[in-house]
Structure 1
C-alpha cells in the first residue's frame, strides 16, 4: 500500500499566532478588498482545492468544452439529416408558357449513398428540348437511389467527421483532468507557501519578543544602576533589526495570501484573501513513504495520466483521415437507380408519360495520378509517426518524474528530521549560553549570534516541511491521482508534533552548565 491510500484520520488545529508584535509592527491581517467578516476557522488544503474545482476560471472554461464538443458532434451528425426541398417555377410570358412545382425528401445514408423521393407537376407548353419537365395531369412521383460501390462505401468524409467529433467528446474529460492536475498543483504550492510564510512570521515574532523582553529588563536594570547604558543601546539596535525582519516576513506573508486568493474564491467566484486567523497551527504530520512496486505504480500512472489519453485520441483521429485517404485511392463507382410514375390524364396525345419508368446503371470517375489521396496518406502517416514518438517521450517523462518525486519525497523527509535535530541542538546550545550570559561569561553580541542561529534553524525546519508537502503534491500529480481526494486525505492527517514556531520548548537551566570562557 502506498502513502496516499492509508492516511489516518482526525485533525486538530489551533491558532497559529499566540502573541502579536508590539510597537510599530502590527499583527498580520488581510488587506485584500472585498473580504467579509466570517467566523474564524482553519483553512486546509482541501478547502483550496475544492474552491479550484468549483470556481477557478480555467476549470470552468475547461468544463464548457463538454457543451462545445457535444455541439460539434451534433453538427457532424447533421450531414445525415433528412432534407425537405421544394420548388415553384413559372414562365408566364413568352411563346412557351408553363408552370412547374415540386416537393420532396432527400437523405444521405450511413453507407455513403443518397436516397430521395418526391412529387412534381409540370403544366403548360414546354420547349421540345425540355419535354421531361412536363407531367401528366396528376403529376409525377419519383424515387432515386445512389450507392457507392468502391470509393465512399466503407468510409467517407461525413462519417470521418462524426468519428472525429466523437473522439473530441471523449477527449473532454482528459482535458478537464489535465487542467485540474496542473492548476491544483499550483494551488497546493501556493497554499504551502502561505502556511510556511505564516510560520516564518511567527518565528520572527518570537525572536523579536526575546529582545523586547530583555529590553524591559535592561531598562529597569539601568534605572537601578545594574546595567551599563551600552547594553541598553545595543539591545535597542537588536530590537530595530529584528523588527525589520518581522516586517519583511509579514510582507512576504501578505504576498502569499494574495497569490493564494487566485485559487481560493468566495461567493460569485471572486478571489478571497485568507485572513491570518485561518492559518493552521502546524503542518500535518509527515508520513513515511512505503516501499512501492515502481513498475506497478508506473503502469497505474500511465493509465491515469490525461496526456497519454489525449495523445492516443489524437492518433486515432488522424488514423481516420488516413483510412479515408486510402479509400479515396479507389475508383469512384456508384450504382444509380431511379424510378418514376406519372399519374392522372395524359398530358400529350402520344401518352408518352403514362408508363412506369426505371433507370439503373453505373457511373464512375478516377483521377489518374491520384495525388490528393497519395499526398494525404503520406501526410497523415508522418503525423502519426510524430505523435507516436511524442507518446513514447511522454511515457518516458512520466517514468522519470515518478522516480524523481519518489527520491525527493524520501530525501526531503530525511531533511526534515535533520532540520529538527539541528533546531533542538541550536536551542540547547542557546540555552546553555544564555545561562553563561546571565553569569557574565559572554556578552550580548555573542548571545545575539546564537539567537540568530537558532532562528535560522527554526526557519530551515519550516522550509523543509514545506518542501516535503510540495514534493508529495508533485508525486500525486505524476501518479494522476484526483487532487481533491488527495487533499481531503491530507487534511485528515493529525497535526505534527515537531517543535517549531509557536511550539518551542520552554527554556530550562542546565543541571551542570559548562564553563564558557
Structure 2
C-alpha cells in the first residue's frame, strides 16, 4: 500500500504537476514572457531604438527647415559715420535642391564712405531670389541622402529592435523551462525521500517484531540518506534557476521585480504546439537579423550615390529680383519684362577638386562597407538555415525520446510493482526494492528532462525563425 501511494504521488508530479496550496500561484510561461518583453532593460532598449530612429528622421528633415537670418554693420571713426547697413530675410531649402530666398536690405545714405555697390533705394529694397545647383546637387545632395537614409533607418531600427527581443525571447523561455525542470525534479526527490522515510519507519517496526533482520533497517536508512542528498542537490539547482528568473523580471517602474516564493511553474509535460517546418522555413526569410542587413545595404547604396555625386563640379546659379522698397515694378512697365531685363542681380559660384582623392576614397570605402554587409547577410542566412535544420532534427529526436522515456517509466513501474508484491510475500529484499525504486525515479527524472528539453527545442525553433 505504501508503494501505491508513492506511485500516485509521483504520477501527479510528472504527468500533471503538483497540487497547489492556497498560497501557491502558477506563473505561466506566456505571462512571464509578456512581463519580460515589456519591462526588461533589453526590451526597453529595443523600444528606445525605435524612438532613436524617429528622432534621426526628424533631424534629417531639419535640413529642409526655413531659416531666418539678419545682419547689421556700422562703422564710426574719427567722429565720422563711415557706413551703416543691414539685411534680414528667410531662406527656404526644398527637397529638389533649389533654395528660395526673400530678403530686405537697408542702407543709411548719409554714410561718408559708403561703398557705391551698397547704394539702394531710399527706405530699403526687397529681394526675392533663387539658388539652383546646376551640377553637383541638382538631382541628389547631402540633405536628400540623409533624409532617405533616415527613412530607411526607421525600418532598420525596428528590425534591430525585433532582433533584440528575439534574443531575449530565447533567454527568457529557456530560463523558464530550466526553472520548471528544477522545480519538479526537486518535488520528485522530496516525494521519494518522504516515501523512503515512511518505509524506513515501517521496516524498523517490522525489525522490532522480528520480521526483518537489522541489515534491512540500515539498507532503508541509506536509501533515505541518498534521497536526502538528492533533495539538497535539486534544491541548489532550483536556487540557480530561480536566480536566473529573478534577473529577468522587472517592474513597470524599471526596478527589479520582487520574486514570490509561492510562484510555481507550469509542468513541462504540457505538450507544446507542434511547429510546421514549411512555416519555419518561410518565416526565416524575414528574420529580423536578415531584414536589418538588407536595410543597411539600402542605406549604404544611398550613401554611395551621394559619394558618386561628389565627383561632379559644384556650380551654383543664383538669380534675384530687386524692388524699390516693396515695389517690384517701379516703372509700371510689363512686370515680367521689367524683372528679367532691368531690376535683377545674378551670379554663380564654381569649384572642383583637381585630384578627387577624397571623392574616390569615399566611394571605395562605401563599396567596402557594402561588401562587408553583404557577406554578413550571407553568413547569417547560412547560420540560420543550419540552426533551423539542427533544431528541427532535435525536435524529431526529442519526440522519439519522449515516447521511449514514457515506455521506460511504465516498464520500471511494472518491475517495481512486481518487486513490491514479492517483498510483501517475503520473497524479495529491501535492497532489490530500493534498486527498483531508484531506477524508476531515475527514469522519471529522465522523462521530466526530456519534456523540458522538448519545450526548449520548440523555443529555439521559433527563435531561429525570428518569431518571438
**Under TM normalisation by the shorter chain, which class is it?**
0.7 to 0.9
Structure 1 Cα separation of the partners of residues 173 and 363 of structure 2:
46
- 2:268–2:452: 8 Å Cα contact kept in structure 1? no
Structure 2 Cα separation of the partners of residues 310 and 47 of structure 1:
29
2:261 to 252, 256, 275: 275
Kindly tell me: are residues 450 and 165 of structure 1, through their superposed partners in 2, closer, same or farther at Cα, counting changes over 3 Å?
Answer: same
Structure 1 Cα separation of the partners of residues 275 and 460 of structure 2:
14
Structure 2 matches for 1:425-504, cutoff 5 A? 425-481=411-467, 483=468
Aligned to 1:249: 234
Aligned to 1:349: none
Corresponding position: 1:59 with 2:43: yes
The two structures have a TM-score, normalised by structure 2, of 0.86
Query: Unpaired runs of 5+ in structure 2?
Result: 1-13, 327-340
Deviations 1:193-219 (A, max 9, x none): 111111101221222123112111122
Structure 2 Cα separation of the partners of residues 93 and 180 of structure 1:
70
Structure 2 matches for 1:4-43, cutoff 5 A? 16-17=17-18, 40-43=24-27
Structure 2 Cα separation of the partners of residues 398 and 267 of structure 1:
34
Aligned to 2:329: none
Structure 2 matches for 1:71-220, cutoff 5 A? 71-94=55-78, 95-126=80-111, 130-220=115-205
TM-superposed deviation, 1:311:
0.4
Deviations 1:433-452 (A, max 9, x none): 23333444443233323222
Which sits farther off after the overlay, 434-443 or 329-338? 434-443
Structure 1 Cα separation of the partners of residues 237 and 258 of structure 2:
17
Q: Which has the higher contact order (CA 8 A, sep 6+)?
A: 1
- 2:314–2:350: 8 Å Cα contact kept in structure 1? yes
Which sits farther off after the overlay, 102-111 or 194-203? 102-111
- 1:86–1:103: 8 Å Cα contact kept in structure 2? yes
SS where residue 241 of structure 1 aligns? Answer: helix
- 1:339–1:356: 8 Å Cα contact kept in structure 2? no
Deviations 1:98-136 (A, max 9, x none): 322322111222222332221121114446572223433
Deviations 1:119-156 (A, max 9, x none): 12111444657222343321122233221111111111
Aligned to 2:32: 48
SS where residue 104 of structure 1 aligns? Answer: strand
Structure 2 Cα separation of the partners of residues 66 and 288 of structure 1:
33
Structure 2 Cα separation of the partners of residues 382 and 237 of structure 1:
69
Kindly tell me: are residues 62 and 475 of structure 1, through their superposed partners in 2, closer, same or farther at Cα, counting changes over 3 Å?
Answer: same
TM-superposed deviation, 1:277:
5.2
Structure 2 Cα separation of the partners of residues 380 and 476 of structure 1:
35
SS where residue 25 of structure 2 aligns? Answer: coil
Corresponding position: 1:300 with 2:286: no
Aligned to 2:335: none
Kindly tell me: are residues 266 and 89 of structure 1, through their superposed partners in 2, closer, same or farther at Cα, counting changes over 3 Å?
Answer: closer
Kindly tell me: are residues 365 and 90 of structure 1, through their superposed partners in 2, closer, same or farther at Cα, counting changes over 3 Å?
Answer: closer
SS where residue 116 of structure 1 aligns? Answer: strand
- 1:103–1:119: 8 Å Cα contact kept in structure 2? yes
Structure 2 Cα separation of the partners of residues 181 and 272 of structure 1:
25
Aligned to 1:331: 313
Kindly tell me: are residues 197 and 343 of structure 1, through their superposed partners in 2, closer, same or farther at Cα, counting changes over 3 Å?
Answer: closer
Structure 2 Cα separation of the partners of residues 236 and 263 of structure 1:
41
Aligned to 2:365: 379
Deviations 1:393-444 (A, max 9, x none): 2222222122112111111110111111111111212222233334444432
SS where residue 285 of structure 1 aligns? Answer: coil
More helix as a share of residues: 2
Query: Unpaired runs of 5+ in structure 1?
Result: 1-12, 21-37, 345-354, 484-517
Aligned to 1:316: 298
TM-superposed deviation, 1:92:
3.7
Structure 1 Cα separation of the partners of residues 431 and 456 of structure 2:
37
Kindly tell me: are residues 336 and 124 of structure 1, through their superposed partners in 2, closer, same or farther at Cα, counting changes over 3 Å?
Answer: closer
Structure 1 Cα separation of the partners of residues 23 and 111 of structure 2:
89
Deviations 1:194-249 (A, max 9, x none): 11111101221222123112111122223323333332233223222211211221
- 1:48–1:263: 8 Å Cα contact kept in structure 2? no
Aligned to 1:415: 401
Kindly tell me: are residues 67 and 287 of structure 1, through their superposed partners in 2, closer, same or farther at Cα, counting changes over 3 Å?
Answer: closer
Deviations 1:132-190 (A, max 9, x none): 23433211222332211111111111111111111221223212211221111111111
Kindly tell me: are residues 289 and 65 of structure 1, through their superposed partners in 2, closer, same or farther at Cα, counting changes over 3 Å?
Answer: closer
The two structures have a TM-score, normalised by structure 1, of 0.78
Kindly report the root-mean-square deviation, in angstroms, between the aligned alpha carbons of the 2 structures.
Answer: 2.7
SS where residue 360 of structure 1 aligns? Answer: strand
Which sits farther off after the overlay, 134-143 or 199-208? 134-143
1:363 to 341, 349, 369: 349
Deviations 1:59-90 (A, max 9, x none): 11211222222112111111111111122333
TM-superposed deviation, 1:265:
4.1
Aligned length: 439
Aligned to 2:322: 340
- 1:222–1:232: 8 Å Cα contact kept in structure 2? yes
Structure 1 Cα separation of the partners of residues 175 and 302 of structure 2:
43
Aligned to 2:6: none
